[in-house]
C-alpha cells in the first residue's frame, strides 16, 4: 500500500467512524464494490468520482448527523434518490459521502380536505401517485421514470413529464419543505396551506437546486382531485412542420389538453422495433393529444379538425381508455427505444416557446444531417419541450465526438430561439458550461452568491450547476 | 432655517441634481406637498417617513440610473405601484427616493400561441386582464383592488384574489423577470417558455419579495385560455361552523370551484348598508360557490346538495351571469363596506389549512368578544384564507389599542392552527415582528442572508419584512 493510499484509507476510516456515531452499522457502506455502484446517475458523458462512503439514513436526526460530520471534516456530500437523472446531477464527487435518501420512504399523511400529502424524500413517485389515488386524489408530476424515481429527486430537478401541458411541473406541487442545511441545522420553508406569502419563497429556491443548497428531508405536496381517465387522439403528419403547426393551432384555439406529445418517425420506428406496438411508421410525425374532462368528445373533435386543417394525413381517436393507455405506453417507451438504436444516447431537453417548435425540429434535422447522426425527437409538444435524442455507438470515438458536438449545437439552437437548455432534466454536470450561456454573467454571479449563503464551505454537491 | 434643516435641504438638492442627470425634469418630484402624498399605502397603523424625492421613470435605463445614484449616495429606495397594499410594504422611509413605477405601463406583447404577455410593472391589473381577453386569453390574479393595482405591485406581494382556489396566486403566472439590481445592473431571470429549470428559481425569489431584492422592470406572464363565464350559487347557513363544514365537504368531494367565498353576518350587513345589495341578512354566514366549466350545472347541483347536507338553510343558484356578477360585486365590496362600519379597519390575512377554517372562525368570534370589538370576516374559504377585519374608531385610543391587540391575537391563532400570518397581502411593516414567529430563527437568518446578497448596502425598501 502506497503512502497516499494509506492516508486515504485512514481518512475514510475516520469518516466512517465519525458517521457511525450517529448512524447504525447497516446505514454506512464502505465496501468499494458497493460504494462504486452509487457513483452514477443515468446520464452519458458525465464524469463521476468514487464515493468514500455511502450512507442510508432513516431519520431526520441521522441526516443532521451526516451533515454535521461533513461540515466538521469538510467532506463533500452528494444527495441521491433513485439515480434516474439524466444530467449527472447525482454523480459522486471523488471521496464524497453519497447521501442516499431512499430509505426515508414514508408517506406521513394524505389529507383529502386540505388536498396535501406529507412525504419523506425517498418515496417513489408511483407509490405516492397510487396511494393518493385511493383517496380520489391526483399527484400530477409523471417523469418517464415515475415507477422508479423518488419525490426527493423530482424536487431536486423540478421534474416534469407528460402531464405538464395542463398540470405544470413538480415545482407547482411543492408547498413546503423541511431542509437539513449544510451545517446540520433544520429549516422549515413554506406552508401547508393553499396560499402563503410570508417572507421570501425559499421553497421554490430549493426546488430544482439539485441538492446544492440543502437536503430535503420532508415535503408538503399539493394534490388535485383525480380527473376522469383521459382519452387520446393520434394524428399522423407528412412532416414535422405540419405537426408543429397543429400544436400551435390547438394551443391558440384555447384548448387545454391533458397531454400533447410528438414523436418523430425515428422515434416511432424505434418504439415499434423494441415493443412491436404497431404505431404507424409511414408518417413523419405522430401527434398524441388527450383530454381528461368529463366530456372530452367536443374537444377531441375540434382538435382533430385542427390537425386536419394543419395537414394531418390521418386522425384516429382512441376507442377507450385501454387504447389510450396503449398509445401512451408507446410514447413512454421513446427514450429506452431510442437508446436501443445504437446502444447509447444523449438526451437533450431543450424547451422553446411553442411558437418556435417547428423551427426547433427543422434545426435538429439540419444538425443530424450535418453530423451524419441519427437524432430521434420526442417532445412534450404542448410545452415546446423537446427531447432530441442523439443515438450513437459509444465505442466509436469519432461518432462519440460528433454526438457531443451535435448535442451542444442543439442547445445553442434552443437558446437562439428564445428557449432554455433544460425544460425538466436539470443542469447537473452535463450542461454546466451552458448554464452560464443561458443566464449570463450577472445571473451566474447572483446564483453563486445564493449558493454561498446556504453552503459556505462548498460541500453540497460540488461541481454541479456551476 | 436650522442647521439640520439646511444640511438636509442641501442633501436633498444634491440628490435631486444627481437624479436629474439621467431623468427628465418632470420625472423628479421634490415639492413636499407632492412627495408626502406618496408616503403611504393603504395599511393602517404603519409608520411612514417623508420621501426626499419621488421619481417616475419611463425606461429601464432611467431605473438603472436611479439605482446607481442611490447606491453611490447610500440613499434608501422604496419602490411603489398604485399603493393599494395593505401591509405598509410601500410606505416611504425617511429621506428615501420613492421609485414609482406607474409610468412604465406598457403592454409589450400578447402572444396567444405561447400564452404569454410581456409587460412593464406599471400596467394596471384590470388593463392587462381586459387586453388579454380580447385575444381569448385570461390573466387570473384578481386582487380586490384589481381596477387600480399594478402588475409590479402584484408581483411584489404575490397577490391573490377570488380566483385562487382554482387558478392560484400571482406567483403561478410569473415566468420570467427583468430586474434592476441595487447597484443598477440589469439581470434576467426565468424564461418565456412553458417550462424551464436552468439554475436556481430566482424568479420566484423576487415574487413576494416586496421590493426588497431588486426593481422589477419587465415581466413575462403566463396566460390561460379564457374560461366560460362562471355561474354562482349562494348558500345561507345558521352558523359559520356549518358553512365551514360545507367548504370541507365540497373540497373533499373533489370539486374544483372557480371561487368559494364566505361572508359572515357582519360583512353581509355592512355590504347591504353601503350598497343596498339586498343580500340575505338573516343568516350567520353566506357561502358563494362558482364554476366556470362548459357545463357547470352538475357541479352546482352537487355542491348545493353538499351545502344542504352541512345544514344550509337556503341554497340559491344564480339565474345567469348577470346575477352571478351581482353576488360577486357584493363580495368584492366587503372590505370597503367593513371600513365604513367604524371609519377604520385592520384587515388580517391569515390563511389556515382549510380543514381548520371552522376553528379559525370560531376563534375570531371569541377574540371579538374578548376585546369588545366588531370583527367582520370575509374569506377565500376554499383556500382557507380568511380576512378577519377589525372595525374600530381610530379617534378612540382605547379602542385602537384593543384593535391592535385583537389583530395580533388573530395571527397567533392562525399560527396555532398550522396556518400563515399572510396568505396574500404580504408582511410589509405591519407584520414584520410576526414573520420571525412564523419562520423561526434559522429561517430569518437565511432570509436575511439572501437579502444581503442582493442588497449589500441595505438600501432597498429598508425596514420591510424584517
Alpha-carbon gap, residue A70 to A460, rounded angstroms = 9
- The pLDDT of residue A281 is 84
Mean pLDDT of A377-397: 97
A278 pLDDT tier (thresholds 50, 70, 90): confident
Contacts of B384 in chain A (CB under 8 A): 114, 193-195
Q: Which of B181, B194, B453 to mutate to test the interface with A (most CBs of A within 10 A)?
A: B194
Q: What is the DSSP string of B427-459?
A: -TTTTHHHHHHHHHHHHHHHHHHHHHHH-TT--
B45 pLDDT tier (thresholds 50, 70, 90): confident
A197, A424, A425: residue with CB nearest B423: A197
| Alpha-carbon gap: B388 to the closest alpha carbon of chain A (Å) | 16
Mean pLDDT of B11-15: 82
Look-up of cell digits 414514508: A106
> Which segments of B158-290 does DSSP mark as H helices, in order?
164-167, 202-206, 240-252, 265-275
- A71-116: pLDDT as tens digits: 999 999 999 999 999 999 999 999 999 999 999 999 999 999 999 9
CB pair distance less than 8 Å for A353 and B192:
yes
B169, B384, B439: residue with CB nearest A198: B439
- B212-253: pLDDT as tens digits: 999 999 999 999 999 999 999 999 999 999 999 999 999 999
- For B124, the 3-state DSSP assignment is strand
CB pair distance less than 8 Å for B114 and A353:
yes
CB pair distance less than 8 Å for B193 and A420:
yes
Residue A163 has pLDDT above 60, yes or no: yes
- B263-320: pLDDT as tens digits: 999 999 999 999 888 888 888 999 999 999 999 999 999 999 999 999 999 999 998 8
Integer Rg of chain A from CA: 23
- Report the CATH fold assignment for A231-416: Vanillyl-alcohol Oxidase; Chain A, domain 3 (3.40.462)
Cell of B375: 370583527
Q: In this structure, which long-range contacts are made by residues B316-320, counting pairs with CB atoms below 8 Å and at least 24 apart in sequence?
A: B316/B233, B316/B234, B316/B235, B316/B236, B317/B231, B317/B232, B317/B233, B317/B234, B318/B231, B318/B232, B318/B233, B318/B234, B320/B231
Rounded to a whole number of angstroms, the distance between the first and last alpha carbons of chain A is 36
CB pair distance less than 8 Å for B449 and A453:
yes
B165, B193, B224: residue with CB nearest A384: B193
Alpha-carbon gap, residue A462 to B14, rounded angstroms = 48
Look-up of cell digits 384516429: A316
CB pair distance less than 8 Å for B439 and A207:
no
CB pair distance less than 8 Å for B251 and A157:
no
Of A279 and A267, more confident: A267
Mean pLDDT of A146-161: 95
Q: Which of B268, B263, B284, B281 is nearest to B377 (CA)?
A: B263
> Which segments of B90-201 does DSSP mark as H helices, in order?
125-133, 151-157, 164-167
Q: What are phi and psi of A200, to 5 degrees?
A: -65, 150
A172, A198, A426: residue with CB nearest B435: A198
Residues 6+ apart with CB under 8 A from A36: A50, A51
| Alpha-carbon gap: A17 to the closest alpha carbon of chain B (Å) | 29
What is the bridge-based pairing of β-strands A116-119 and A312-317? Answer: unpaired
Alpha-carbon gap, residue A209 to A426, rounded angstroms = 9
Mean pLDDT of chain A: 95
Mean pLDDT of B313-339: 91
Q: Nearest-5° angle of CA B275, CA B281, CA B287?
A: 90
Residue A1 has pLDDT above 60, yes or no: no
Residue A11 has pLDDT above 80, yes or no: no
Percentage of chain A exceeding pLDDT 90? 91
Mean pLDDT of A180-192: 97
- B51-62: pLDDT as tens digits: 999 999 999 999
- B103-145: pLDDT as tens digits: 999 999 999 999 999 999 999 999 999 999 999 999 999 998 9
CB pair distance less than 8 Å for B453 and A454:
no
Whether B269 and B390 have beta carbons less than 8 Å apart is answered as no
- The pLDDT of residue A321 is 87
CB pair distance less than 8 Å for A383 and B195:
yes
Residues 6+ apart with CB under 8 A from B248: A113, B354, B355, B357, B358
Q: Which of A161, A193, A380 to mutate to test the interface with B (most CBs of B within 10 A)?
A: A193
Break chain A into its structural domains and give their ranges. 3-100, 107-225, 231-416
Mean pLDDT of B143-168: 95
- For B27, the 3-state DSSP assignment is helix
A280 pLDDT tier (thresholds 50, 70, 90): confident
Residue A7 has pLDDT above 80, yes or no: no
A243 pLDDT tier (thresholds 50, 70, 90): very high
Contacts of B355 in chain A (CB under 8 A): 111, 113-114
Determine the residue of chain A that is closest to B382 in CA distance.
A194
For the beta carbon of residue B431, count every other beta carbon within 10 angstroms.
27
Alpha-carbon gap, residue A352 to A358, rounded angstroms = 10
Alpha-carbon gap, residue A6 to B172, rounded angstroms = 54
CB pair distance less than 8 Å for B427 and A453:
no
CB pair distance less than 8 Å for A201 and B194:
no
Mean pLDDT of chain B: 95
Alpha-carbon gap, residue B374 to B391, rounded angstroms = 6
Residues in chain B: 466
Furthest-apart CA atoms within chain B: distance in Å: 75
- The pLDDT of residue B457 is 98
Residues 6+ apart with CB under 8 A from B441: none
- The pLDDT of residue A211 is 97
- B369-411: pLDDT as tens digits: 999 999 999 999 999 999 999 999 999 999 999 999 999 999 9
What top-level class would CATH report for the domain B107-225?
alpha beta
Mean pLDDT of B443-461: 98
Mean pLDDT of A295-299: 93
Mean pLDDT of B441-449: 97
Alpha-carbon gap, residue B107 to B136, rounded angstroms = 16
- Report the CATH fold assignment for A3-100: 3.30.43
Alpha-carbon gap, residue A358 to B113, rounded angstroms = 13
| Alpha-carbon gap: B355 to the closest alpha carbon of chain A (Å) | 6
Whether B91 and B38 have beta carbons less than 8 Å apart is answered as no
Residue A6 has pLDDT above 90, yes or no: no
| Alpha-carbon gap: A247 to the closest alpha carbon of chain B (Å) | 9
Contacts of B226 in chain A (CB under 8 A): 254
Residues in chain A: 466
Contacts of A424 in chain B (CB under 8 A): 195, 197
CB pair distance less than 8 Å for A199 and B443:
yes
B199, B226, B452: residue with CB nearest A427: B199
Residue B2 has pLDDT above 90, yes or no: no
Residue A213 has pLDDT above 90, yes or no: yes
Determine the residue of chain B that is closest to A415 in CA distance.
B191
Cell of B201: 428559481
B1 pLDDT tier (thresholds 50, 70, 90): low
Mean pLDDT of A216-224: 98
Look-up of cell digits 431623468: B23
- The pLDDT of residue B163 is 93
B10 pLDDT tier (thresholds 50, 70, 90): confident
Contacts of B250 in chain A (CB under 8 A): none
**Mind spelling out the 3-state secondary structure of chain A?**
CCHHHHHHHHHHHHHHHHHHCCCCHHHEECCHHHHHHHCCCCCCCCCCCCCCEEECCCCHHHHHHHHHHHHHHCCCEEEECCCCCCCCCCCCCCCCEEEECCCCCCEEEEECCCCEEEECCCCEHHHHHHHHHCCCEECCCCCCCCCCCEHHHHHHHCCCCCCHHHHCCHHHHEEEEEEECCCCCEEEEECCCCCCCCCCCHHHHHCCCCCCCCEEEEEEEECEECCCCCEEEEEEECCHHHHHHHHHHHHHCCCCCCEEEEEEHHHHHHHHHHHCCCCCCCCCEEEEEEECCCCCHHHHHHHHHHHHHCCEEEEEECCCHHHHHHHHHHHHCHHHHHHHHHCEEEECECECCHHHHHHHHHHHHHHHHHHCCEEEEEEEHHHCEEEEEEEECCCCHHHHHHHHHHHHHHHHHHHHCCCECECCCCCCCCCHHHHHHHHHHHHHHHHHHHHHHHCCCCCECCCCCC
Amino acid at each position: 500500500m502506497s503512502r497516499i493510499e494509506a492516508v486515504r484509507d485512514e481518512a475514510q476510516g475516520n469518516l466512517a467512524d465519525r458517521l457511525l456515531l450517529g448512524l447504525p452499522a447497516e446505514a454506512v457502506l464502505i465496501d468499494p464494490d458497493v460504494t462504486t455502484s452509487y457513483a452514477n446517475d443515468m446520464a452519458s458523458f458525465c464524469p463521476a468520482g468514487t464515493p468514500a462512503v455511502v450512507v442510508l439514513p432513516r431519520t431526520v436526526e441521522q441526516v443532521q448527523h451526516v451533515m454535521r460530520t461533513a461540515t466538521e471534516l469538510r467532506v463533500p456530500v452528494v444527495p441521491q434518490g433513485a439515480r434516474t437523472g439524466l444530467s449527472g446531477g447525482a454523480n459522486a464527487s471523488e471521496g464524497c459521502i453519497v447521501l442516499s435518501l431512499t430509505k426515508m420512504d414514508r408517506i406521513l399523511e394524505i389529507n383529502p380536505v386540505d388536498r396535501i400529502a406529507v412525504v419523506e424524500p425517498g418515496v417513489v413517485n408511483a407509490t405516492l401517485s397510487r396511494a393518493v389515488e385511493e383517496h380520489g386524489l391526483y399527484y400530477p408530476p409523471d417523469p418517464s421514470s415515475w415507477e422508479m424515481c423518488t419525490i426527493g429527486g423530482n424536487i431536486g430537478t423540478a421534474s416534469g413529464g407528460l402531464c405538464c401541458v395542463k398540470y405544470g411541473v413538480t415545482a407547482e406541487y411543492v408547498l413546503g419543505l423541511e431542509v437539513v442545511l449544510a451545517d446540520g441545522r433544520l429549516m422549515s420553508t413554506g406552508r401547508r396551506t393553499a396560499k402563503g406569502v410570508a417572507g421570501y419563497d425559499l421553497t421554490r429556491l430549493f426546488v430544482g437546486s439539485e441538492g446544492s443548497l440543502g437536503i430535503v428531508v420532508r415535503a408538503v405536496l399539493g394534490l388535485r382531485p383525480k380527473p376522469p381517465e383521459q382519452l387520446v387522439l393520434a394524428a399522423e403528419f407528412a412532416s414535422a412542420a405540419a405537426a408543429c403547426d397543429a400544436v400551435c393551432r390547438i394551443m391558440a384555439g384555447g384548448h387545454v389538453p391533458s397531454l400533447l406529445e410528438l414523436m418523430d418517425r425515428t422515434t416511432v420506428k424505434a418504439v415499434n422495433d423494441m415493443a412491436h406496438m404497431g404505431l404507424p411508421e409511414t408518417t413523419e410525425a405522430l401527434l398524441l393529444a388527450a383530454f381528461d374532462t368529463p366530456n372530452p368528445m367536443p374537444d377531441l373533435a375540434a382538435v382533430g379538425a385542427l390537425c386536419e386543417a394543419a395537414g394531418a394525413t390521418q386522425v384516429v381517436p382512441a376507442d377507450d381508455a385501454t387504447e389510450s393507455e396503449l398509445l401512451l405506453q408507446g410514447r413512454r417507451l421513446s427514450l429506452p427505444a431510442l437508446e436501443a438504436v445504437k446502444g447509447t444516447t444523449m438526451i437533450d431537453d431543450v424547451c422553446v416557446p411553442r411558437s418556435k417548435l417547428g423551427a426547433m425540429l427543422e434545426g435538429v434535422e439540419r444538425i443530424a444531417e450535418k453530423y451524419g447522426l441519427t437524432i430521434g425527437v420526442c417532445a412534450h409538444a404542448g410545452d415546446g419541450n423537446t427531447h432530441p435524442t442523439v443515438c450513437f455507438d459509444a465505442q466509436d470515438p469519432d461518432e462519440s465526438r460528433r454526438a457531443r458536438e451535435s448535442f451542444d449545437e442543439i442547445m445553442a439552437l434552443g437558446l437562439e430561439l428564445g428557449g432554455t437548455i433544460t425544460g425538466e432534466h436539470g443542469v447537473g454536470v452535463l450542461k454546466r458550461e451552458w448554464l452560464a450561456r443561458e443566464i449570463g454573467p450577472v445571473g451566474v454571479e447572483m446564483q453563486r452568491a445564493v449558493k454561498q449563503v446556504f453552503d459556505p464551505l462548498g460541500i453540497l454537491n460540488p461541481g454541479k450547476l456551476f
